[in-house]
Amino acid sequence: MNKELVLRLLKYKRLLQQLKSLGFIKVFSNNLGDAIGVSPALVRKDFSVLSLSGNKRGGYHIDTLVERLNEVLGKNEKQDVVLVGCGKIGTALMQYREFERQGIRIVAGFDRDPQNVENPTKTPVFTDRQLEEYVAKHDIRIAVVAVPEESAADVAERLQQAGLKGILNFAPVELKSSDQCIINNVNIGLELENLFFMVKYAQEQPAAVAPE
Amino acid sequence: MNKELVLRLLKYKRLLQQLKSLGFIKVFSNNLGDAIGVSPALVRKDFSVLSLSGNKRGGYHIDTLVERLNEVLGKNEKQDVVLVGCGKIGTALMQYREFERQGIRIVAGFDRDPQNVENPTKTPVFTDRQLEEYVAKHDIRIAVVAVPEESAADVAERLQQAGLKGILNFAPVELKSSDQCIINNVNIGLELENLFFMVKYAQEQPAAVAPE
DNA sequence: TAGATTGTTAATCGATTAACAATC
DNA sequence: TAGATTGTTAATCGATTAACAATC
């Protein structure tokens, strides 16, 4: 179960739910492959790993797929997270509609200086000194980190000490996963620099580029 | 030149600049490897691809590395971008300090409804009807997209029509690169769902997890 | 010199794909 | 039946790593 595979499964799931809501009943591996940008063979392989099978002629039954994907990916589990760092990015995330749509809820924010946080939402924002207590009390497993670069490493350390199991990190530092805690880094600046380079390079050497 | 390699090169560059500013003169492949989380062999391989060489005993000279990396990655090129969609995430990005630190500048924002944009910055926000004109006039190559899911596909289409070469997409839809235009998707919800799964899975099957 | 590190080759590894028999 | 699609195996591909000779 590597990250890429899981991301594909999540994409299948989203897509299938959409198809279902549009009234589709079945789907072929090449439809799915086209839609998420992989080969039909890989789609079939992924499904076979999940012991999902289709019909030799009629493709896959969407309901069955969705059901099994929910089973594997864990549908209605509690998905509560805390947000550490309520600056511009942080508060934007507090209002991010997509989270609730995916069943994810930011239950509390923490900031070094909660007074200064412009918080138009109902989510409470506490001083970061209460972090450990809150996390323990509410059995929080996952945190979103949106603090400045300087504080990121310390915050991550504290979160791991507090027993958190997963961190989604927006600070522009590459934090490393440990056995106790899995960290996903979203490095916006890096993505954009990468894009600049890919574009420049594609212009110089039209043939040699392999996006994604 | 695949994406992973470019990301590593960007990370080397950042790290080396930091080391340099701390007064370091030289560095070994295993220092760099540890720092960015890859094997020393890969570091040496990457450098050898760039025809960078070190000293059999004394490691690599930081100045030489930085110089060559700037050469390859294109140091002081103009890095102007436009922002399409000035909602919560969009305006947060307008104020994102890390961009200017990396020499990236958001020169203009566009929104369907510029009146409603809370814009505490000097960056002008225009109506999206002016997008094509602005982009042509200022020779903009790259756009950051932070519009709602529903509009993302249309906006991407318009941007490609307008001749943009690269898009960094924050809308929760997977947009696909074409020959004309490279698209990097940053799907925050997906990253977080992924994290939830990885954490759950790691708990269930401690041995079988491979983060990142 | 002895020890350490580079540079590079060959081996490994894992993921993806081609291809095709099975079969609806 | 003829045609299309699955399910799976073996081949391919590319990236990473192990290992070691070269050498400072």
A49-64 confidence digits (pLDDT tens): 999 999 998 899 999 9
Contact criterion met (CB below 8 Å) for A81 and A106: yes
Contacts A92 to B, Cβ<8 Å: 88-89, 91-92
Angle at A75 (CA atoms; ends A71, A79), nearest 5 degrees: 140
| Sign of the dihedral through C-alpha A53, A59, A60, A61 | negative
φ, ψ of residue A143 in degrees (nearest 5): -125, 145
pLDDT tier at B207 (50, 70, 90 boundaries)?
low
pLDDT tier at B74 (50, 70, 90 boundaries)?
confident
| Best CA proximity match to A114, nearest among A152, A87, A149 | A87
**Quick one: closest CA in A to B80, which residue?**
A196
pLDDT confidence of residue A206: 63
Cβ of residue A6 closer than 8 Å to a chain B Cβ = yes
Structure tokens at B17: 């600049």
Tell me the pairing of strands A60-61 and A26-27.
Answer: antiparallel
Residues 6+ apart with CB under 8 A from A66: A13, A16, A17, A20
Angle at B5 (CA atoms; ends A206, B52), nearest 5 degrees: 95
The gap between B55 CA and C4 C1' (Å) is 11
Closest partner CB to B194 (pick from A7, A96, A201): A7
Do the Cβ atoms of B210 and A165 come within 8 Å? no
Contact criterion met (CB below 8 Å) for B160 and A109: no
CA atoms within 13 A of residue A149's CA, in its CB half-sphere: 11
Average pLDDT over residues A187-195: 96
Average pLDDT over residues A145-160: 97
pLDDT at A208 over 80: no
Q: For A64-118, how does the pLDDT look when each residue is reduced to its tens digit (9 = 90+)?
A: 999 999 999 987 677 999 999 999 999 999 999 999 999 999 999 999 999 999 9
pLDDT tier at A1 (50, 70, 90 boundaries)?
confident
Structure tokens at B188: 């925050």
pLDDT tier at A160 (50, 70, 90 boundaries)?
very high
Nucleotide nearest the Cα atom of A59 (by C1'): D5
pLDDT confidence of residue A75: 78
Average pLDDT over residues A138-155: 97
* Cα gap A208→B6, rounded to integer Å: 13
Residues in chain A: 212
β-partners of residue A27 are: A60
* pLDDT cut 90: percent of chain A above it: 89
Residue tagged 């025809």 (tokens): B51
DSSP letter for B107, please: E
DSSP letter for A176, please: P
Q: For B144-177, how does the pLDDT look when each residue is reduced to its tens digit (9 = 90+)?
A: 999 999 999 999 999 999 999 999 999 999 999 9
The gap between B59 CA and C14 C1' (Å) is 31
Q: For B6-17, how does the pLDDT look when each residue is reduced to its tens digit (9 = 90+)?
A: 999 999 999 999
pTM for the model: 0.93
pLDDT at B211 over 80: no
pLDDT tier at B77 (50, 70, 90 boundaries)?
confident
pLDDT confidence of residue A203: 85
Contact criterion met (CB below 8 Å) for B162 and B142: no
Average pLDDT over residues A180-197: 95
